[in-house]
Structure 1
Amino acid sequence: MRKFTWTISVIVFIAIMVSACGQKNEAASSNENLTVKIGLLKNVTHAPAFIAIQNGYFQKEFGSNVKIEVTAFDNGSDFSTAIATHQIDLGFVGPGPAINQYLKSKNFRIISGSNNGGAVLIVRTGAGIKSVKDLAGKTVAIPTKGSTNEISLRLLLEQEGLKVTTDSSGVQLITRKPADTLVAMRQKEVDATLIPEPWGSQMVQEGTGEVLVDWDRIPPNNGDYPLTLLTANDQFLKEHRDLAIKAIKANIQGIDFITQDPSKSYDLISQELKELTGKGMKPELIKAALDHLKLTHEVQPDAINVMAKVSFDAGYIKGIKENELDLSPFIDLSLLDEAVNNK
């Protein structure tokens, strides 16, 4: 009887091991010849992603069987459309356009933070603007409608009792890509801009503009608000949750690399910008950008909810009532918890 029991135990043990190996091989094979499509913006505020790409953190985490394809976007609206329509699997974007798109499609999630702050309010040199109140009757450039920068600008104007209008009674907004805003400021076509770094620092260095509100006084939370978040679409999370967690780890490694020794990151960030745009960036401009933001993998749901309310009031969120602005399903921090705790 003892011999029979021992024999059964061995058979059960072998069966369990074979099953476990089979499951492991099945999981491994599911990533064979897989291409993970990562999206990001051509901004230094996406520096952790740049470092994670340049230092091979994504590739190391995903494994050699996974191919990585990087797509760069000019603005968050285009990125958000791409992730909602499965043109990309995961990537980095600001909360403003992400919120607007999520409430339409509800098929992607915020899974980690990347950096907070990083935008400044610049006024054109010689425009006679000495305070935010002086923006009344002026034209202010933003990267795109519904962008995180526009949300911050609207909050800033609201604090000073100013309204966004289409005439000289308030503040007029126009959309310009950051590079085009730089030209517009030089040509005196716009009076001010709330813009991500290092564009603001570049305007200051060349004498085109002056800082009116520095990054650590931009609302909400005086610069400590999400500007770049890591997101992933639902299909990718369902089929490759393990890789999404590994992407978070790669993002955190990028943050740690910059935090521990920023000077080592300048050339890498410039190189990634060159690959994305065809042009690198001077180290002093990259330093200015990194000095004007807070790198963090943490996410602030309260700040995101405030931004959603601003987008709603601005008319960018349609088809729902204000009390239906429930973003709790949009922010899934369970993967971040697993990544940080090495589960």
Structure 2
Amino acid sequence: MKKTAWLLALILLVGTVLTACGGGDSKNSGGNGDGKKPETVRVGIFKNVTHAAGYVALENKYFEKYWGEGVKVEVTAFDNGSDFSIALATDQIDLGFVGPGPSTNQYLKSKNFKVISGSNNGGAVLAVRKDAGISSVKDLVGKTVAIPTRGSTNEISLRLLLQQEGLKVTTDKSGVEIIARAPADTLVAMRQKEVDATLIPEPWGTQMEKEGIGQILVDWDKIPPNNGNYPLTILVAGDKFLKDHRDMAKGAIQANIDAINFIKSNPDKSYDLINNQLKKLSGKGLDNELIKAALSRLNLTPDVSKEAIEEMAKVSIDAGFIKNVKKEELDLSKFLDLSLLDEVKKEKK
């Protein structure tokens, strides 16, 4: 009997030690591969109205609706897609909203996250300073044009726009000089006549127009590729999160779709919701009329064009943002995983 009791005690002790060693950090949604619901999900997003669906999903608590009220949504705001994509690739966030340009660049390096849904097509404009003497895209020769960050979706669109007009990107007056400035800094630079034009996401172009310092030369529905019908905001998720929490990833897609439908059905109610998030993320909001004007330049949709993303990736290869990959060898088949989106759509029918 004593020997049996000793063996039982030993088994219980070993079981306790193994449980303690295997517990991990329950707050990290990466989890232990056991599929248990995390306490916290880390969501990344930009400080642009082009991320309107994400804002409304946060304000209306659509993520909590599909994830459960016990899950905390931890939001991190980013100024550019490069920082966002690095954060996703290094497990600092679990999922979020970003542009295809920098996320594609990072994916080809790390290959540990995927596009799971669209959120918005288009919404960037080419704004020019009113006194810069620019009345057509060809007038950009010898001028300085700002984009939010190197390799951004906006820079890719700008390069495509210049190619359409036969213009070259240079560092002298023989072509168009491209510089990287954060949108808020670009607004100041336009006021101080340090830059001549910018290809920038909304609401910044509208704000320049409202202030009278600039005018929109090429509207969102003429910006390449596909005349504005290209993914500007997509929903991406880390492979770790997708493996451990597939149903929660589907919930994020549904939250995004619900937010898109809400904005389309209730535009007037959406302005305050979007503004609330802008205040939280950037410290200051916008006039609702400015948000209204910016929303009119968005095509909110969960659909994603693989062809448009591939076209933009090839521009990145030509520009040197994507290295060690030839255009003819480009393979993004594993970057886009729209199976979850398809499942969500089927379940809604």
**TM-score, length basis structure 1:** 0.90
Structure 2 stretches lacking a partner, 5+ long: 1-33
User: More deviation in 316-325 or 221-230?
Assistant: 316-325
| 1:98-247 paired onto structure 2 within 5 Å | 98-247=103-252
CA distance in 2, matches of 1:250, 1:270: 19
**1:68 equivalenced with 2:76 (yes/no):** no
Give the alignment partner of residue 90 of structure 1, picking from 61, 72, 95: 95
Q: Which amino acid aligns with 2:95?
A: L
Secondary structure of the 1:292 match is: coil
Secondary structure of the 1:328 match is: coil
- For residue 81 of structure 1, report the CA deviation from its aligned partner: 0.4
> Does the 8 A contact of 1:96 with 1:148 survive in 2?
yes
Equivalence for 2:326: 321
User: More deviation in 314-323 or 179-188?
Assistant: 314-323
Equivalence for 1:296: 301
Q: Which amino acid aligns with 1:263?
A: D
> Does the 8 A contact of 1:31 with 1:66 survive in 2?
no
% identity of equivalent residues: 70
Structure 1 residues 252, 213: closer, same or farther in 2, change over 3 A?
A: same
Q: Which amino acid aligns with 2:319?
A: A
Structure 1 residues 136, 39: closer, same or farther in 2, change over 3 A?
A: same
> Does the 8 A contact of 1:31 with 1:65 survive in 2?
no
> Does the 8 A contact of 1:141 with 1:193 survive in 2?
yes
Q: How many residues align?
A: 315
> Does the 8 A contact of 2:317 with 2:325 survive in 1?
no
CA distance in 2, matches of 1:277, 1:120: 21
CA distance in 1, matches of 2:326, 2:122: 29
Task: Give 4+ residue runs of structure 1 displaced > 3 Å after superposition.
Answer: 29-33
**1:54 equivalenced with 2:66 (yes/no):** no
Give the alignment partner of residue 77 of structure 1, picking from 78, 82, 99: 82
> Does the 8 A contact of 2:127 with 2:205 survive in 1?
yes
**1:256 equivalenced with 2:261 (yes/no):** yes
- For residue 293 of structure 1, report the CA deviation from its aligned partner: 1.1
Secondary structure of the 2:226 match is: coil
- For residue 321 of structure 1, report the CA deviation from its aligned partner: 2.2
Equivalence for 1:5: none
CA distance in 2, matches of 1:254, 1:32: 23
Secondary structure of the 2:295 match is: helix
CA distance in 2, matches of 1:147, 1:33: 32
Q: Which amino acid aligns with 1:69?
A: E
Give the alignment partner of residue 34 of structure 1, picking from 27, 34, 39: 39
- For residue 32 of structure 1, report the CA deviation from its aligned partner: 4.6
> Does the 8 A contact of 2:119 with 2:302 survive in 1?
yes
Give the alignment partner of residue 311 of structure 1, picking from 308, 311, 316: 316
Q: Deviations over 1:6-56 (max 9, x none)?
A: xxxxxxxxxxxxxxxxxxxxxxx9445521100011111000000000001
> Does the 8 A contact of 1:197 with 1:288 survive in 2?
no
> Does the 8 A contact of 2:160 with 2:224 survive in 1?
yes
> Does the 8 A contact of 2:37 with 2:245 survive in 1?
no
Equivalence for 1:11: none
Structure 1 stretches lacking a partner, 5+ long: 1-28
- For residue 166 of structure 1, report the CA deviation from its aligned partner: 1.1
CA distance in 1, matches of 2:236, 2:38: 23
Q: Which amino acid aligns with 1:204?
A: E
> Does the 8 A contact of 2:87 with 2:93 survive in 1?
yes
| 1:329-340 paired onto structure 2 within 5 Å | 329-340=334-345
